[in-house]
Amino acid sequence: MSSLLSVKGMNINFDTSRGLLEAVRNVDLEIPAGMSVGVVGESGSGKTVMCRAAMGLLQGSNVKRSGKVVFDGRELTAMSKSEVREQFGSGMAMIFQDPMTALNPVRRIGSQVSEGLRVRLGMSKKDALARSKELLELVRIPNAAAVLKLFPFQLSGGMRQRVMIAIAISCSPKLLFADEPTTALDVTVQAQILQLLRELREDLKMSMVLVTHDLGVVAGNTDYVAVMYAGEVVEFAETKKLFADMRMPYTEALLESIPTIDQKSGARLAVIAGRLPDPTDRGAGCSFAPRCKYAQDKCRNEHPELKQDPDGHLYRCWFPIGEAK
Ligand code: SF4
């Protein structure tokens, strides 16, 4: 299967007053054309930094990076900033967790949705507004013509996220990055937005990277899952295989921390004990060892290599689930 986005050997470090902060470590990731890949991990696991770097959005003199990113056959890491910017719109697009901060509060919805159409596709103001109305309808916003004239604060959180999605798909991107797109929304709206993204992805034949801290969100919404911990991809598999036969203790702990529907009221939610390791001092062994119930001496002293099952399932663990300890 051909890759639309290929990340090879990505390392991202930040030069800070506390020393070199290792945010992303030696990440390889393939996003197959037309597929949806979930990138899952706790806050601070490096998932957002990795995705922003893959999109060429990580700027700053304190950022040290290495590795190669190829998008749609072109090496992004060899491009100038302006060449990378040209990839946005019809190449890549992104939606964020909080649409209120991503939208301009003092511009009407119509002006914001039509901007990309005018700037990137060269449409006239009238044509761009007509297309904006169609885009709002495509993301299931009722009374689209009236909504074009509103300001973001006049819409609910779910409607604002639909507007962000309309902006993101306005130039028909090949790849959509969705960074925690439902975290700020209540549960019912979350499910509606995920369904909308699923339908749009299929209708528009888009690939998608869905970044989330919630393993439950990737089930049913992605074809593949990459689990990140302490800046590394620690497990990668087809979503169905991951849930049927997970190999990493960290993935298992993430799954156990999802509340279940039959949980008794008042029961304590399971949490992963301990904290992510200090990113300026990753230590010699497995980064998850201080929190892992399966950890042994080897885990604390030797960094686990990436192993691969015959079906392509990747994991980084000395004592994976399913193998005799
Ligand atoms: S290598 Fe050891 S500490 Fe790390 S996840 Fe596997 S069993 Fe746990």
- pLDDT confidence band for 256 (50 / 70 / 90): confident
CA of 232 to the centre of ligand 1 (A): 14
Say which residue the tokens 């969705």 belong to. Answer: 178
Work out the mean pLDDT of the chain and round it to a whole number: 91
The predicted model gives 46-53 an average pLDDT of 92
Q: Give the per-residue pLDDT at 264.
A: 66
Span 281-302, average pLDDT: 93
The residue ranges of every structural domain in the chain are: 3-91+171-315, 106-170
Grade residue 325 by pLDDT with cuts at 50, 70 and 90: low
Pocket test for ligand 1, best of 297, 303, 319 (most atoms within 8 A of CB): 319
Q: How would residue 140 be classed by pLDDT, with cut points 50, 70 and 90?
A: very high
**CA separation for the pair 169, 127 (Å, rounded):** 16
Position 91 scores a pLDDT of 92
Look at domain 3-91+171-315 and name its CATH class: alpha beta
Q: How confident is the model at residue 60 (pLDDT cuts 50, 70, 90)?
A: confident
Give the number of other CB atoms < 10 A from CB of residue 157: 16
**Spatial distance between the Cα atoms of 152 and 143, rounded to a whole number of angstroms:** 15
Sorted by sequence, the CB contacts under 8 Å of residue 51 that are 6+ apart come out as 39, 177, 179, 209, 211
Tell which wins on pLDDT, 183 or 295.
Answer: 295
* Ramachandran area for residue 322 (φ above 0: left; ψ -120 to 50: alpha; else beta): left
Q: For residue 20, what is the enclosing H or E element?
A: strand 19-32
* Ligand 1 cavity residues, CB under 6 Å: 249-250, 286, 288-289, 292, 294-295, 299, 304, 317-319
Average pLDDT for residues 318-325, to the nearest whole number? Answer: 83
Q: What is the pLDDT of residue 274?
A: 83
Cα separation, 14 vs 2, whole angstroms: 32
Burial 88-125 (b: 16+ CB within 10 A, else e): bbebbbbbbbbbeebbeeeebbbbbbbbbbbeeeebee
- Over range 85-103, report the average pLDDT: 86
CA–CA distance, 238 with 41 (Å, rounded to integer): 16
Q: In this structure, what are the phi and psi dihedrals at residue 85, rounded to the nearest 5 degrees?
A: -60, -35
Q: Which DSSP string do the residues of 5-17 spell out, in sequence order?
A: EEEEEEEEEEEET
Distance of CA 126 from the midpoint of ligand 1 (Å): 59
Please provide the size of the chain in residues: 325
Cα(250) to centroid of ligand 1, in Å?
Answer: 8
Q: Tell which one of 232, 233, 292, 314 to mutate to probe ligand 1, the residue whose CB is within 8 A of the most ligand atoms.
A: 292
Question: In the predicted model, is pLDDT for residue 293 greater than 90?
Answer: yes
Take atom 3 of ligand 1 and give the residue whose Cα is closest. Answer: 289
The DSSP bridge partners found for residue 75 are 70
0.85 surpassed by pTM? yes
Cα 265–Cα 267–Cα 271 angle in degrees, nearest 5? 135
DSSP for 59-112 reads: --TTEEEEEEEEETTEEGGGS-HHHHHHTBTTTEEEE-S-HHHHS-TTS-HHHH
**Residue at 46: amino acid letter:** G
Ligand 1 atom nearest to CA at 320? 6
3 state SS of 271: coil
> Which alpha helices (DSSP H) does the chain contain, by range?
47-54, 81-86, 99-102, 109-119, 125-138, 144-147, 157-169, 187-204, 215-218, 239-244, 249-256, 297-301
Nearest to 31 by CA among 67, 1, 9: 1
Q: What is the pLDDT of residue 199?
A: 94
Q: How far is the CA of 28 from the centre of ligand 1 (A)?
A: 20
Q: What pLDDT, on the 0 to 100 scale, is given for residue 253? A: 93
- CA of 51 from ligand 1 middle (Å) equals 25
Distance 308 CA to ligand 1 centre (A): 16
